[in-house]
Chain A
Amino acid sequence: MMILKIAWRNIKRNKKRSIVTVILSAICTALLIYSVSINDGAHHKMIRDSVEIYTGYIQIVGKEFNEYPDYDHLIFDEYNTIKSIENIREIDTYASRLETFALLSGKDESVGGKFVGIQPEKEKEIARFTKTMTQGRYLTKDDTSKVIIGEELAKKLDVKIGDTITYLSTAIDYSIAADIVTVVGIFKTNLFDFDENMVFANKPYVQELFYAENVASHIVIKPKNKKAVTKTVRMINKNIDNKKYDVLPWDETLPGVKQAVALDDAFSYIFYIIIVVVIFFVIMIFSLLNIYQRNKEIGIVKSLGTTPKQIFHMLFAESVILGFFSLLVGGVLGIGASVINMIYPYNLEKFAEAYSQWGITDPTIYPEITLKAILAGICAVIFMNLISILYPIWKINKLKPVDAIHGKGLS
């Protein structure tokens, strides 16, 4: 207790230096917390946007469907599969899809695209593309030969609302499936590939035309807690036949997104490390100077019989107190800046095209204060404030009291 008191007095005695030390490491801490928050915010947004636009957090597919996405690897008893997962508590909602490829023809033009049967009502709760209708309307559960298509595809086929499209594809029994459908809606997600390729129709209609009663290619699941994907996957795995189905979390269906985040993080860490190391040295200079100035004082204390251990404790306590203040100020600044930024987020409208390439559909970036951000701040403070004094302390403990009193022995 006395050591703390002495440490506190020492800090007060040297107000200017203490304040500069606190400011320096507080700014560094704030910067770390803020930039980790921004990074996390942007990354989580990237993940959310990529996952929620269509893919979904969890998919149930036929065994090995991801490796062999063909008609032999579909889910052939959709209704029973759904029944077996219906009562899992972790699941918020689910929707089944039937994805096929088709050659689509508009007025003159023909292109290939994905022709997908969806359950309009359920899909609305899972996939965000359903909310990006720019023209016409979304599908209803009673629609038959009606489709919604992406804006780029509409341009390519040169069709508008009310126009018809002919599609040609293969039914599940490998016979030819073809029909004329009416475009009732056009959507625009800003993801070029998606807007260029996708056609959605009501699943019962697709099932009928493709002889696919009780068949689905995907059952997409939205967990109640988006952070508990792994647990939900485990629960689903317990309830379904693992020999017939694969349960895939988003990081397996979209490995690129996960690794892109990791890569971007790795780059940011290099930068953080440089900043923290430089500030580490600056603070080390501070504590060295501090000790030089107190050379005499420490010599006297030593010759009075204070042990090196006690001196260590005293100096360490000073650091801890300064570190505590740095963390407090830095934390308030960093979190404050993030919170302000959450209320007034960055809008990178100008660069929308650039961001859409990375799967970010609406270029408003909100920081997110995560545990990681706060931990980064704490680690930085510990490193900067506590580790940086070890060398100066070691130095001072080597001093001979007599030399120290006479101001010798340190340079």
Chain B
Amino acid sequence: MIDPTVIKMSYRNLWRRKIRTIIVIICIAVGLTGLIFTGGLYDGMLLQMKESIIKSDIGHITIYKKGFRSSKKLSLIINNPENIEKILAENQNIDTYFRRIKVTGMISSARYTQGVHIIGIEPKREKNASNLAESITKGTYELEPKKNQIIIGAELADKLHVRLKKKVVIMGQAKDKSIVSNAMRVVGVARANDQQIDKYAGFISLEKAQAMFKVDKGVTQISIMLKNHEKLDETQQFLKETLGTEYLDILTWKEQYPIGEFMDVAMQYFMGISYVILFLAVGIGIFDITLISILERIQEFGVLLAIGTRFKKIAQVIIYESLMVGGMAFIVGIILGYSLLITFKYVGIDLSAFAAGVSFFGMSSIMYPTVKISYFFTALIAVSITSFIAVLWPIWILKKLKPIQSISFM
């Protein structure tokens, strides 16, 4: 059982060597703060990247006609989306879904011509699902179904040298293989920090796209947003079973963007290695400081043993000293680390100085760290293990030194 006297002794011992104790606390606390902060920063960055991938186009799960994703041919279009939609509407796990048509074509202004992804969207329907609405920097997000209106990526707009209300011509191949073109008025400009959108996308209304590319009621993809991300595999399995995979490709975002998973794994390794390195150093520090403080007090321990204290108790005193230092450092580190994270979660870290680099990585220009409970436990485990293990050897050394005999050297 824990003896209150032991704890009291340990605590008092600590403050007999104030500066040392404080330096060890600072050392561990700084390490912890740093680790918690970078952990949250990286997690936040990854989360934002993944969210932008999911929200900008493909949703958590995407349904395509089999083979469309690699060939991008309009002959591989989902002709009767209603049948699929009925099933989607009934599923409890699905929050919402949106339909799109994507055709690769050309876009030209008076100034310039380049390749473009012409994307037919239903603004009203995907307003709460995709992130396009919040990416609009100029003009409007609402596309009127019957009118020739287009929203283009910001970098594309710069290249084409068009402003709002100016005309551009889009050209592409319809389902019947004929080349179709249409003059469109720019009503909105979008910047999503995603090169595929900023540089290469033009959004028109789904109805317009269906008419222009002669696909009737067809769509090229249905992107599904889930209520709960945990149900990803379950929902995919359900859809595969009910809709069949003979004519459809039903893919999760993870299958379409393996890079997300790669980054997750890379980050976990990175954080793991950082923890090991830092706490190895911290462990060596604690080890040394305990060793010295034991050697200094060897006569004191000798006296304690001589008056009948068992060695076990003395070992306990030493262990508690170390655990207390660890504990205090832990509290300081946790408070600092979490307050940094929470502050920046609200304020955000402005990376717009690196705007081009940010969009190169597909990150957002303002970064928000994630705050996870797990950082608390990882830190707790690391601190307790380190401060416990680091004192075992010094205790063993103490035992070998036979403290009782040292009294006679006083």
Binding site for B on A (CB under 8 A): 17, 20, 24, 28, 31, 68-70, 101, 103, 108-114, 155-156, 170, 197, 255-263, 266-267, 270-271, 273-275, 277-279, 281-282, 284-286, 288-289, 292-293, 351, 353-354, 357-358, 395, 411
**Bound CA span A28–B282, Å:** 13
The secondary structure that dominates the A interface is helix
Knowing A68-B111, A112-B115, A354-B263 are in contact, say whether A274-B31 is a contact too (CB < 8 A): yes
A261 partner residues in chain B, CB cutoff 8 A: 357
CB-based contact A288/B258 at 8 Å: no
Knowing A103-B106, A111-B105, A289-B289 are in contact, say whether A279-B115 is a contact too (CB < 8 A): no
A–B pairs, 13, beta carbons within 8 Å = A17-B288, A68-B161, A69-B112, A101-B106, A109-B73, A112-B171, A155-B70, A156-B72, A170-B113, A278-B27, A285-B289, A289-B288, A289-B292
Q: Does B177 contact A (CB under 8 A)?
A: yes
User: Per-residue 0/1 for B76-105: is the Cβ within 8 Å of any A Cβ (1 yes, 0 no)?
Assistant: 000000000000000000000000000011
CB-based contact A263/B34 at 8 Å: no
Knowing A69-B112, A256-B356, A289-B20 are in contact, say whether A110-B259 is a contact too (CB < 8 A): no
User: Per-residue 0/1 for B266-307: is the Cβ within 8 Å of any A Cβ (1 yes, 0 no)?
Assistant: 000000001001100110110011001000100000000000
Determine the residue in chain B with the shortest Cβ distance to A282: B285
**Bound CA span A203–B37, Å:** 55
Known: A155-B70, A260-B356, A270-B41. 5 other contacts (CB 8 A): A101-B108, A112-B172, A277-B34, A281-B285, A411-B19
CB-based contact B26/A281 at 8 Å: yes
B residues contacting the other copy or chain, number (CB 8 A): 61
A197 partner residues in chain B, CB cutoff 8 A: 115
Q: Which 8 A-B pairs have the closest CB atoms?
A: A259-B357, A281-B27, A274-B34, A112-B106, A256-B360, A282-B285, A260-B357, A354-B259
CB-based contact A112/B27 at 8 Å: no
Binding site for A on B (CB under 8 A): 16-20, 23-24, 26-27, 30-31, 34-35, 38, 41, 70-73, 104-106, 108, 111-116, 159, 161, 171-173, 177, 179, 258-259, 262-263, 274, 277-278, 281-282, 284-285, 288-289, 292, 296, 351, 354-362
Knowing A257-B360, A281-B23 are in contact, say whether A351-B31 is a contact too (CB < 8 A): no
A411 partner residues in chain B, CB cutoff 8 A: 16-20
CB-based contact B288/A259 at 8 Å: no
**Bound CA span A20–B292, Å:** 14
B259 partner residues in chain A, CB cutoff 8 A: 351, 353-354, 357
CB distance from A258 to the nearest CB of B (A): 7
CB-based contact B360/A259 at 8 Å: yes
A262 partner residues in chain B, CB cutoff 8 A: 354, 357
Knowing A259-B354, A289-B289 are in contact, say whether A113-B115 is a contact too (CB < 8 A): yes
**Bound CA span A411–B104, Å:** 74
CB-based contact B289/A275 at 8 Å: no
CB distance from B111 to the nearest CB of A (A): 5
Of B34, B115, B285, which one neighbours A111 at CB under 8 angstroms? B115
B362 partner residues in chain A, CB cutoff 8 A: 357
**Bound CA span A112–B179, Å:** 11
CB-based contact B281/A282 at 8 Å: yes
CB-based contact B114/A112 at 8 Å: yes
B288 partner residues in chain A, CB cutoff 8 A: 17, 20, 285-286, 289
CB-based contact B277/A31 at 8 Å: yes
CB-based contact B30/A281 at 8 Å: yes
**Bound CA span A103–B161, Å:** 21
CB-based contact A259/B355 at 8 Å: yes
B16 partner residues in chain A, CB cutoff 8 A: 411
B292 partner residues in chain A, CB cutoff 8 A: 289, 292-293
B359 partner residues in chain A, CB cutoff 8 A: 256
B111 partner residues in chain A, CB cutoff 8 A: 68, 70
**Bound CA span A224–B118, Å:** 43
CB-based contact B30/A278 at 8 Å: yes
Among A273, A281, A284, A357, the one with the most B-chain Cβ atoms within 10 Å of its Cβ is A281
Knowing A259-B358, A259-B360, A289-B20 are in contact, say whether A353-B274 is a contact too (CB < 8 A): no
**Bound CA span A108–B74, Å:** 11
**Bound CA span A288–B23, Å:** 10
CB distance from B119 to the nearest CB of A (A): 15
CB-based contact A112/B20 at 8 Å: no
B72 partner residues in chain A, CB cutoff 8 A: 156
**Bound CA span A282–B111, Å:** 63
B278 partner residues in chain A, CB cutoff 8 A: 274-275, 278
**Bound CA span A262–B72, Å:** 36
Of B20, B177, B355, which one neighbours A288 at CB under 8 angstroms? B20
B179 partner residues in chain A, CB cutoff 8 A: 103, 110
Determine the residue in chain A with the shortest Cβ distance to B278: A278
**Bound CA span A181–B353, Å:** 45
CB-based contact B27/A285 at 8 Å: yes
Of A69, A110, A286, A354, which one neighbours B258 at CB under 8 angstroms? A354
Knowing A101-B115, A288-B23, A289-B289 are in contact, say whether A28-B281 is a contact too (CB < 8 A): yes
CB-based contact A353/B289 at 8 Å: no
